[in-house]
Amino acid sequence: MMQEALKSSPASVAIRYSGVSFSYESGEAPALDRVSLDVRRGERLGILGPNGGGKSTLLKLTLGLLRGYSGTIEVEGLAPVEAAKRRLIGYVPQRVEAELAFPITARHAASMAATAGLGPFARSSGAEARVERALSVVGAASFADRPVGLLSGGQMQRVMIARALASDAKILLLDEPTVGIDPAGQKQFAELIQRLHDELALTTIVVSHDLRTVAATSDRVACLARTLHYHDSPEGLTPHVLAEVFRHDAAAIFGDLHVDAHRASECGHDHSHGHSHEHPRERGNGSHGTQSKSGGGGS
């Protein structure tokens, strides 16, 4: 198969997904269906997909937070749970998940991943030096002594990135990094990701539903809506592919791109049909959205 031939050699692969499927309840429709993808070492990958498309499921599987999947996931050749124990992936969660009423400073929050694995009597000076370096790399040194509850969304995000960097992870995995961040902050964020990639040679994976976020932070994009639809450069992301991924949502979200979501989902990857029937005003229809991909008998 084409995809097999394109697979990179193991040495250059940071994370390899092979035929990964997952269902929350047995018998329920799978949240992920046979996803295969190689994340190459040192690349900036974006994973784009609609809400409910399996992005956070894939993220949790990668981090070892969810088990019981079929297929294989290898993070630097290790199962996700083992990789988590060695802190191979620097996870940057959405801001909302942390307990912000917590009485801790930004510096303390940034140090947690680096010190969590230390024994009770181990000296933390080495970890603290890494934390200071990470804080200055992300530009968080100036507010390091502030309580986390008083940080802005963008500041908190930088602290979370510093936490991941201080853990010495070589892979950075960011979950919806621009949610709740203002446009100026989003621009800074994209520049920071570029800088981390250039200076520290990190592999970065940005998971988002937002096309602009993914396009601004990635060299390559994988589109995920239960199955993997596409993985190539952001420039190659045609309205047609987006329509396929976002289905009926696309008409609502990307209405200005003249996407006919209805037709696109019917016609699969055949471009000519997609462009011949343009109904930009047609909005998503909930009942169609629930159909399985191969069903296609909506109209």
Q: For binding to another protein (CB under 8 A), which residues are involved?
A: 24, 60, 63-66, 84-87, 89, 91, 93, 97-99, 102-105, 108-109, 112-113, 115-118, 120, 147, 149-150, 160, 163, 167
Residue 167 Cβ vs another protein, minimum distance, rounded to whole Å: 6
Residue 28 Cβ vs another protein, minimum distance, rounded to whole Å: 12
The separation between the first and the last C-alpha atoms of the chain, rounded to the nearest angstrom, is 32
Nearer to another protein, 85 or 279 (CB): 85
Nearer to another protein, 107 or 226 (CB): 107
Nearer to another protein, 158 or 247 (CB): 158
Nearer to another protein, 130 or 240 (CB): 130
Q: Tokens at residue 277, please?
A: 């029937």
Nearer to another protein, 25 or 256 (CB): 25
What distance in Å separates the CA atoms of residue 46 and residue 67, rounded to the nearest whole number? 23
CA-CA distances (angstroms) from residue 231 to 13, 37, 38, 245, 260?
15, 8, 10, 12, 21
The Cα angle at residue 207 between residues 179 and 193, in degrees rounded to 5: 80
- The CB-based long-range contact list for 27-33 (8 Å cut-off, 24+ gap) reads 29/292, 30/226, 31/57, 31/226, 32/57, 32/58, 32/61, 32/69, 32/226, 32/227, 33/226, 33/227
With contact defined as beta carbons under 8 Å apart, do 115 and 197 qualify?
Answer: no
Nearer to another protein, 84 or 141 (CB): 84
Nearer to another protein, 80 or 239 (CB): 80
With contact defined as beta carbons under 8 Å apart, do 211 and 238 qualify?
Answer: no
Amino acid at 133: R
What distance in Å separates the CA atoms of residue 133 and residue 120, rounded to the nearest whole number? 24
Residue 145 Cβ vs another protein, minimum distance, rounded to whole Å: 9
Residue 162 Cβ vs another protein, minimum distance, rounded to whole Å: 13
Residue 263 Cβ vs another protein, minimum distance, rounded to whole Å: 35
Per DSSP, which regions of 199-239 are E strands? 203-208, 220-225, 227-232
Residue 111 Cβ vs another protein, minimum distance, rounded to whole Å: 9
Residue 118 Cβ vs another protein, minimum distance, rounded to whole Å: 6
With contact defined as beta carbons under 8 Å apart, do 214 and 245 qualify?
Answer: no
Residue 22: half-sphere exposure toward Cβ, Cα within 13 Å = 26
Closest-CA residue to 32 (of 261, 173, 227, 182): 227
Residue 171 Cβ vs another protein, minimum distance, rounded to whole Å: 11
Nearer to another protein, 116 or 252 (CB): 116
